[in-house]
Amino acid sequence: MRLTLLIPAIGLVAACNTVAPIQSTSFNTPQYQAQREAELAGQGLTGNPLLGPVDVTEQQLGAPGDPLPPTGENADIASATAVALANTSVPATRPIASNNAISDEQDFEAVSGRRTIESDAARIEQNRQTYEVVTPTAVPQRGTDGQPNIVQYALNTSNPVGTQLYSRAGFNLQAKAQRNCARYPSSDQAQIEFLASGGPQRDRKGLDPDGDGYACGWDPSAFRSAVNN
């Protein structure tokens, strides 16, 4: 039984180890190689023979980077286009005006045509010679026109408006002061007249009924605030 099974197995192993013979083809024959080399050299072709590598580079490719020349119908179109462009007159391109033009003083070429390093140095030296240092002097005193200075009066007093410092005698002082104050264009002018007429101790014109030293509602706080600020 074992012998019967062993004989077919040995036959299978022998079949696998058998190397198939290499069949020779006509492509590897010397005749084929000679014919192929002749065709590549242009000897076995009819019509236009194949060009060698050097001939293709010089005749068809041209210089490196040049486009390939057109052939057939494309050559006719290219020729007609070249003729049309040659007969067309293209107007000269006009420069486009720029809205961002710089001024003459900022144009380097314009300035360099008028000035040089030597001229700038001479101008600087001239400016140095004419330069004058002004020595500060004392603040001039305010001139007097014979009228009381209400600014100085405001700074010399400290009592607020409405605080009585001086006695006032009479009847209906408020009504009288209201009528008299209406004759002045401003409370500043009323205060000047009040001080010029003996104020603040005396109120001959009836402009300070409450005796605070300020006529017709004049307020010295604005002058005091200006000095403190």
Residue 95 domain flag: no
Residue 118 domain flag: no
Q: What is the pLDDT of residues 12-25, one digit of tens each?
A: 545 445 444 444 44
- Domain end point (choices 39, 64, 89): 64
Which residues have C-beta within 8 Å of that of residue 61, sequence separation ≥ 6? Answer: 68
Residue 62 pLDDT > 70:
no
Task: Domain count for the chain, please give it.
Answer: 2
Radius of gyration of the chain from its Cα atoms, rounded to whole angstroms: 60
Tell me the mean pLDDT in the region 133-153.
81
Decide which of 105 and 184 is more confident: 184
Tell me the mean pLDDT in the region 47-75.
53
Q: Closest Cα to residue 214, out of 146, 171, 158?
A: 158
pTM of the model: 0.40
Are the C-beta atoms of 2 and 9 separated by less than 8 Å?
A: no
pLDDT category at 95 given cuts 50, 70, 90 is low
Structure confidence at residue 214 (pLDDT): 97
| Distance (Å) of CA 115 to CA 111, 112, 121 | 6, 5, 10
| Distance (Å) of CA 143 to CA 48, 147, 150 | 119, 11, 14
What's the CA gap between 192 and 214, in Å, rounded?
A: 10
Structure confidence at residue 161 (pLDDT): 93
- Domain end point (choices 11, 44, 64): 64
Residue 38 domain flag: yes
Residue 175 domain flag: yes
Burial 20-48 (b: 16+ CB within 10 A, else e): eeeeeeeeeeeeeeeeeeeeeeeeeeeee
Q: What is the pLDDT of residues 115-126, one digit of tens each?
A: 888 888 998 999
Residue 73 domain flag: no
Residue 179 domain flag: yes
Q: What is the pLDDT of residues 160-204, one digit of tens each?
A: 999 999 999 888 999 999 999 999 999 999 999 999 999 999 999
Residue 68 pLDDT > 90:
no
Structure confidence at residue 76 (pLDDT): 73
- Domain end point (choices 19, 39, 64): 64
Which of 81-95, 169-183, 200-214 comes out lowest in average pLDDT? 81-95
Tell me the mean pLDDT in the region 61-79.
62
Query: The domain containing residue 157 runs over which residues?
Result: 150-228
Residue 105 domain flag: no
Cβ count near 154 (within 10 Å): 20
Residue 159 pLDDT > 50:
yes
Residue 218 domain flag: yes
Burial of 173 (0-12, 13-18, 19+ CB in 10 A): middle
Q: Is the peptide bond before 200 cis (omega within 30 degrees of 0)?
A: yes
Q: Helices marked H in 46-164 — which ranges?
A: 53-56, 73-87, 108-114, 117-130, 150-156
Structure confidence at residue 211 (pLDDT): 94
